[in-house]
Amino acid sequence: MAISGGSTLVYTGLAVLMGVLPGIWLSNVPPTPGLKPLTPLEARGRDVYVSEGCFYCHTQQVRPLPGDKPFGRPSAPGDYAYQTTELLGSERNGPDLSNIGARQSSSIWQFIHLYQPRAVVPQSIMPAFPWLFSVVDKVPPAEKAVSLPPEFAPGGTVIPNEDGKALVAYLLSLKQPALAPTQPGAVPLSRSSGPLGFDASKGAALFANNCASCHGAEGKGVPGTFPPLAGDPVVNAANPTAHIGAVLHGLSGHVINGQKYEAPMPAFADQLSDQEIADIIDHERSSWGNRGALISAADVVAARANEPLQKQQTPPKQVSPIATPAPTFDPAEGAKLFAENCAACHGAEGKGVPGTFPPLAGDQVVNATDPAEHITTMMRGLGGKAINGQKYEVEMPPFADRLSDQQIADIINHERTSWGNHGPLVTLADITKLRAKK
């Protein structure tokens, strides 16, 4: 009895000390600021992720090691607050997925990759998941076809089934919120302020980690889905503004050499430092026969502040006499706020997504002399409105409770002075006055 009772007490004490108490402590760790709970669709996708065995080959734990840097910042305890049991994984036959929603935010790319991985990553060893899709003769209403390269396309049109949509929704939800500098694992981005040399090997590595999955290791892209970079006019242009802007803020629905590419390119402004972006761009401008002028980190700093874009997009002859820059309008802040809150739908160039999100470039409300409707739309949102004869069913969210009056004014003024728009600028008082109206 003494031996049995004593060993039982020892094991019980160890279990409480090493299992129960740490579990209680970890269960009280607050979510990482900015982390969002899974939606019902994303939760279903997580179940599909488990049932298909994705965690056999993919981890969701970024270690504080140099080799893990391409996958995101080191994982923090609060990152897993809304996902129990945690899908940490133990093998990394494929890349870590902790931040895949930010690294590869194109749903079109994700669908192609699931249907046939070799269509976008020729060297991939990942199995295909065709049972997450259906092949139909005609695309049903409200569905969108998966644009496959001709050599991988079946006899009909491919559309994702409900499990496929849920799985992609879950993958796109895997985004690491930025950590405050005082939080464990926080790695602040370095911002370069002067011209630094082009490190060819670093540029090649950064391109491979961030861009090659869509544009290909040889810059050839995927026909009809992801544009080639080899021989591209923007990559070879003497003025690098458009090239830097595309990498910083992303791109969507752009026509390149007569071909329209619907798959959105993700923005890298918050993922990479100025020097890293410069290295990637210089790699693209000096590879595959391209001969574009090289850039420096200082060029990226200027583009972040929207300086070249502002000069190019609002020449004096196009600016309305009324549109004298208001003292409270900070162009750099307006560009930053627009990129963080609006560009995902309306596009970095204000072109929107045809049939889904309306363009802001040339829009009557954005260029109207009276800014009341523009301000009201920003504060209270909009849905089901016909714009230029096209009805947009996707609702625009309200920003009245998310942004201050000054932030809303900066975004509106950015929209009114970009992409050829020349609407009169608004003031902080205009926003405050309309916010008070119910």
Query: What confidence tens digit (pLDDT) does each residue in 108-152 have?
Result: 889 989 999 988 888 889 999 999 999 998 888 888 888 888 888
Closest CA to 248 of 299, 182, 177: 299
Query: What average pLDDT does the segment 340-369 reach?
Result: 81
Q: Are 369 and 399 in contact (CB under 8 A)?
A: no
* pLDDT at res. 264: 78
Q: What's the token pair of residue 328?
A: 């409270």
* pLDDT at res. 190: 41
Whether the predicted pLDDT of 245 surpasses 90: no
Tell me the pTM. Answer: 0.55
Whether the predicted pLDDT of 318 surpasses 50: no
Cβ count near 244 (within 10 Å): 23
- Render the burial of 275-294: b for 16+ CB within 10 Å, e for the rest: bbbbbbbbbbbbbbebebee
Cβ count near 165 (within 10 Å): 20
* pLDDT at res. 37: 92
* pLDDT at res. 96: 93
* pLDDT at res. 394: 65
Q: Are 343 and 414 in contact (CB under 8 A)?
A: no
Please list, in sequence order, all residues whose beta carbon lies within 8 angstroms of the beta carbon of residue 366, skipping any fewer than 6 positions away: 360, 374, 415, 416, 421, 423
Whether the predicted pLDDT of 421 surpasses 90: no
* pLDDT at res. 84: 82
Whether the predicted pLDDT of 172 surpasses 60: yes
What is the 8-class DSSP label of residue 93?
Answer: S
